[in-house]
Structure 1
Amino acid sequence: MLSWALTFLIIAIVAAVLGFGGIAGTAIGIAKIIFFVAIALFLISALSGAIRGRRPPL
């Protein structure tokens, strides 16, 4: 999921360099949303693993 956020960030940077302000703003917004969703899912996964007491495999 973080790869999608990085992809949209790169699209936004390229669009901003080429002068497409609207597209760049939209891509940055999408990248932010995907990034925060990925962080939230990671935290939920980490908390549920800590509550269960399971250790990650080696």
Structure 2
Amino acid sequence: MSLIWAIETGLWLLDKGILIPSRVVDSISRQVYSLFRHGLDELRDRCLNQRPINDLIPLLSCV
């Protein structure tokens, strides 16, 4: 369940326009994190810094 929530959060961040960090290696831009890691970092940040997660709870629904 947490795997899906992290991936859905990563997709939600992309929909909001928050891009996955990237770096340039050998003149090619590559993603530093995966979609899963991007979402997991957001969930972790919200939990540890006591930021609200109410807007992320609907991502768990099947609707």
Normalised-by-shorter TM-score class: 0.3 to 0.5
Structure-2-length-normalised TM-score? 0.31
Larger Cα-atom Rg: 1
Flag the structure with higher helix content: 1
Flag the structure with higher strand content: 2
